[in-house]
A and B are shown apart, each in its own frame.
Chain A
């Protein structure tokens, strides 16, 4: 498994804010994602109603998850596929390696898979002497740079054109070192040529799955490049990495989710390639894999069912939440320190690696609510982050100073007269002290807060005082 740096979130975030190159990439990419989604949503009058439909389909499936997984499996077995049920990441790594070794694989091509990142399958294959090759353009450069993706649908979100050029010169040493990259297209063409050789040579292809379909036993991938399709069509063996919550009942249900997925993710009406795979090559087929395996992963998800975190299992990994998150926008994906960044990661990561490891993440939120408002399956992300904060507090993982501070605040807040007096005095004092600069770079006892940002000085009176004044004037 990847070593999580989530416990160092604060240090990661400070470093990210000072990283000029990262800030340039964030400033370039985020507004584009937000604008594209906005246009796509505005162009479909039924979009809001489709969000309800999507949420309901997922809720129905999760309530009957065992039934739909068994139905999906039964269909797939009749279509000549194999299912490997894996309770843990370790089980899944072993299942994938066993299939690759049985196939005598030397190289393995890979379509983009977040489950692949979650179980760190590349490291595992490499240790066994098998070469994994990422074929999604963004994943490809991430692999060359030995990094984790910084975004769940745009893995190279944090890179600029000059980073691509530099890495390609460093990695593709067989090409003339003085070649010129005039534009992005030249980068793409070089990657296409390099990866074409890999596609043709691979013994096994590994893809993820956006959905599994109980009605037909299918797995579904959604891509724009076509790399996932080449990955699953050319090699002799196709392995699908999927987690248990990916199943949906029917093709109709899947289409409803697809209608909100691409619009929420890239702002496209539909992705270029939406491909349904069902088993191995059929009699008479001229192409396609001879073996089709699904490695089905639980890894902590079943424990989220039936409780306060079940809503998170609706997630269809569109990334709209992180594209619209002010915290993600300030620090990027790597600061979160594990596989899943942004608001969805702040809820999912503690469930998968433990709140003791990932406690900072649900705290890294302003609760502005933008993530929930753009989520295509209406996951109440701020509420779920608050549940994690409560769990953290209950388990005494919250630092002692924070606990003492909260206890003091609780004492004052339960005494309204004292609370109003204290806040009025505080606001007046801070307002007077900060009347020149309008903000504080540091304050006694608030170093933890002002270490990362300035504290704005209060302007004028407290809300209570102003409300009371307005009421007296008959305005409230």
Chain B
């Protein structure tokens, strides 16, 4: 007997039944299709301006940083300013995303950009956020040709560009954006909350375990103006 038949048979024997009757299976399929929301904490169900404030507070509490700019055109300048202030190199691996491509990077000739996935030698990445979640200060980064996963992981410093209108309150709202806009589940969806860390040595928190030591969000928010 195949492993599959053995395991499913053992489950059904233990539950004292055969396969689910078709009417019950239909109900369960309807539940999967409707994917009902469960209890959502109230803290993120607030007006958008408060969600932005909550998001920023949560990112900072988790040792990330946030810079706010008014237009996409101001992103290259904000990235250059951050790297200079942190005394970091200006070679950047950047996601080949149309929104990032449309930004005036040429105005910052000191920044040297390479589009594509990250390699082990890359020190700084610029990634595009699909969405973000105020509830816990979390970025949603689904994999796609224009959003390589390695950019989230290999460089020491990860910079993520987020448009404020992509910020929602709870995870459930972000999943609905993803369902509506992408249709099916991408290969990989990372929910990122702050820079990499470990507390395995004596339960004391140290940043920069295997992933980035620094996580910097550039938030494009025209409401600031």
| A161–B185 touching, CB < 8 Å | no
Chain A positions 271-292 with a Cβ under 8 Å from a chain B Cβ:
271-282, 284-288
Shortest Cβ distance from residue B205 to the other chain A in the assembled complex, whole angstroms: 9
Q: Once bound together, how far apart are the Cα atoms of A276 and B197, in whole Å?
A: 19
Known contacts: A84-B3, A85-B7, A229-B190. The answer to whether A215 contacts B197 by CB under 8 A is no
| A184–B202 touching, CB < 8 Å | yes
Size of the B side of the interface (Cβ < 8 Å), in residues, is: 77
Chain B, residue nearest A233 (CB): B149
Residues of the B chain whose Cβ atoms lie less than 8 Å from the Cβ of A253: 38
Shortest Cβ distance from residue B135 to the other chain A in the assembled complex, whole angstroms: 8
Known contacts: A135-B210, A302-B14. The answer to whether A296 contacts B7 by CB under 8 A is yes
Q: Once bound together, how far apart are the Cα atoms of A67 and B11, in whole Å?
A: 10
Shortest Cβ distance from residue A291 to the other chain B in the assembled complex, whole angstroms: 12
Chain A positions 106-142 with a Cβ under 8 Å from a chain B Cβ:
135-138, 141
| B38–A53 touching, CB < 8 Å | yes
| B208–A269 touching, CB < 8 Å | no
Shortest Cβ distance from residue A210 to the other chain B in the assembled complex, whole angstroms: 12
Known contacts: A85-B3, A215-B32, A278-B187. The answer to whether A244 contacts B11 by CB under 8 A is yes
Chain B positions 124-164 with a Cβ under 8 Å from a chain A Cβ:
135-136, 138, 143-145, 148-150, 152-154
Q: Once bound together, how far apart are the Cα atoms of A160 and B42, in whole Å?
A: 41
Chain A positions 90-104 with a Cβ under 8 Å from a chain B Cβ:
91
Chain A, residue nearest B12 (CB): A66
Q: Once bound together, how far apart are the Cα atoms of A224 and B191, in whole Å?
A: 11
| A270–B193 touching, CB < 8 Å | yes
How big is chain A's contact interface, by range?
Answer: 35 or more
| B201–A137 touching, CB < 8 Å | yes
Most buried by A among B138, B148, B195, B200: B200
| A287–B14 touching, CB < 8 Å | no
| A154–B42 touching, CB < 8 Å | no
Shortest Cβ distance from residue B116 to the other chain A in the assembled complex, whole angstroms: 6
Residues of the A chain whose Cβ atoms lie less than 8 Å from the Cβ of B190: 229, 273-276
A196 beta carbon closer than 8 Å to chain B: yes
| B11–A285 touching, CB < 8 Å | no
Known contacts: A161-B201, A217-B185. The answer to whether A227 contacts B35 by CB under 8 A is no
Most buried by B among A29, A226, A227, A306: A226
Chain B, residue nearest A57 (CB): B38
Shortest Cβ distance from residue A392 to the other chain B in the assembled complex, whole angstroms: 21
Shortest Cβ distance from residue B8 to the other chain A in the assembled complex, whole angstroms: 5
Known contacts: A67-B20, A224-B209, A225-B210. The answer to whether A91 contacts B35 by CB under 8 A is no
| A272–B6 touching, CB < 8 Å | no
Chain B, residue nearest A187 (CB): B201
Chain B, residue nearest A300 (CB): B10
| B187–A281 touching, CB < 8 Å | yes
Known contacts: A188-B209, A273-B211, A276-B185. The answer to whether A229 contacts B149 by CB under 8 A is yes
For A256, give its contact among B31, B38, B201 (CB under 8 Å).
Answer: B38
| B41–A46 touching, CB < 8 Å | yes
Shortest Cβ distance from residue A39 to the other chain B in the assembled complex, whole angstroms: 12
| B188–A276 touching, CB < 8 Å | yes
Shortest Cβ distance from residue A94 to the other chain B in the assembled complex, whole angstroms: 10
B39 beta carbon closer than 8 Å to chain A: yes
Residues of the B chain whose Cβ atoms lie less than 8 Å from the Cβ of A270: 136, 138, 191, 193
Residues of the A chain whose Cβ atoms lie less than 8 Å from the Cβ of B117: 286-287
| A288–B187 touching, CB < 8 Å | yes
Residues of the B chain whose Cβ atoms lie less than 8 Å from the Cβ of A57: 38
For A53, give its contact among B7, B39, B199 (CB under 8 Å).
Answer: B39
| A160–B3 touching, CB < 8 Å | no
| A195–B148 touching, CB < 8 Å | no
A290-328 near B? 1/0 per residue, CB < 8 Å: 000000101000111111000000000000000000000
For A307, give its contact among B4, B12, B14, B196 (CB under 8 Å).
Answer: B14
A28 beta carbon closer than 8 Å to chain B: yes
Q: Once bound together, how far apart are the Cα atoms of A394 and B142, in whole Å?
A: 54
Shortest Cβ distance from residue A322 to the other chain B in the assembled complex, whole angstroms: 14
| B201–A250 touching, CB < 8 Å | no
B28 beta carbon closer than 8 Å to chain A: yes
A145-180 near B? 1/0 per residue, CB < 8 Å: 000000000111001110010000000000000000
B82 beta carbon closer than 8 Å to chain A: no
Known contacts: A85-B2, A184-B206. The answer to whether A280 contacts B39 by CB under 8 A is no
Q: Is the interface of B mostly helix, strand, loop or mixed?
A: loop
Known contacts: A63-B15, A298-B10. The answer to whether A250 contacts B185 by CB under 8 A is no
Chain A positions 33-77 with a Cβ under 8 Å from a chain B Cβ:
33, 44-46, 49-50, 53, 57, 63-71
Q: Once bound together, how far apart are the Cα atoms of A428 and B15, in whole Å?
A: 53
Residues of the A chain whose Cβ atoms lie less than 8 Å from the Cβ of B136: 269-270
Shortest Cβ distance from residue A209 to the other chain B in the assembled complex, whole angstroms: 14
Chain A positions 248-268 with a Cβ under 8 Å from a chain B Cβ:
249-253, 255-256, 258-259, 266, 268
Q: Once bound together, how far apart are the Cα atoms of A70 and B211, in whole Å?
A: 35
B194 beta carbon closer than 8 Å to chain A: yes
| B172–A252 touching, CB < 8 Å | yes
| B148–A286 touching, CB < 8 Å | yes
For A272, give its contact among B16, B31, B187, B194 (CB under 8 Å).
Answer: B194
Chain A, residue nearest B34 (CB): A250
B23 beta carbon closer than 8 Å to chain A: no
Residues of the B chain whose Cβ atoms lie less than 8 Å from the Cβ of A85: 2-4, 6-8
Q: Once bound together, how far apart are the Cα atoms of A164 and B209, in whole Å?
A: 15
Chain B positions 55-82 with a Cβ under 8 Å from a chain A Cβ:
58, 62
Shortest Cβ distance from residue A252 to the other chain B in the assembled complex, whole angstroms: 5
A414 beta carbon closer than 8 Å to chain B: no
Chain A, residue nearest B201 (CB): A184
For A287, give its contact among B11, B149, B209, B210 (CB under 8 Å).
Answer: B149
A87 beta carbon closer than 8 Å to chain B: yes
For B144, give its contact among A67, A84, A192, A285 (CB under 8 Å).
Answer: A285
Q: Once bound together, how far apart are the Cα atoms of A24 and B32, in whole Å?
A: 49
A230 beta carbon closer than 8 Å to chain B: yes
For B199, give its contact among A44, A154, A229, A251 (CB under 8 Å).
Answer: A154
**A-B contact sample (5 more), CB < 8 A, given A87-B10, A244-B11, A279-B187:** A224-B198, A252-B172, A274-B190, A302-B10, A302-B14
15 sample A-B contacts, Cβ–Cβ < 8 Å, listed by A number: A50-B39, A67-B28, A79-B185, A136-B200, A155-B200, A161-B202, A215-B32, A218-B189, A244-B7, A252-B175, A268-B193, A272-B62, A275-B188, A281-B187, A287-B117
Closest 7 CB pairs of A and B: A226-B211, A225-B209, A284-B145, A85-B3, A138-B200, A305-B14, A302-B10
